[in-house]
Amino acid sequence: MLYVLAGIIGVLCGVFFHWTIPAAYSAYMGVAILAGLDSVFGGFAAILNKKFNMKIFLTGLVGNGLMAAGLVYIGKLINVDLTIAAVVVFGTRIFNNLATLRRFGVSKMENMKKKA
């Protein structure tokens, strides 16, 4: 219940407080959002597999964010767009986790139809 309340508060803050991100930080923000989505969908998949651990979730969220930001920073220093590496990795992981969620939902629906 606390997580739902925190999510609602976060959405309301996003709607009512208009923040602008400077263009210089847009690459960092993009990979930060992907890192967050990766952790959230990974957490959902772990819940479905009954393997969720809050410490793993939080360390993954922070660690992924720092690693992605570090890649972007190093890429800017050496003038190579390493943002693409973070996008590919996080995008692949997000789609894998979504596939896990989809398979779980489909199997649940099939089991409900068999029982009916």
pLDDT digit string (tens) for 56-85?
Answer: 999 999 998 898 889 899 999 999 988 888
- Spatial distance between the Cα atoms of 51 and 47, rounded to a whole number of angstroms: 6
For the residues 31-52, what does the mean pLDDT come to?
90
For the residues 103-112, what does the mean pLDDT come to?
88
Residue 13 phi, psi dihedral angles, 5° rounding: -60, -40
pLDDT at 115: 80
Mean pLDDT score of the chain, rounded to an integer?
89
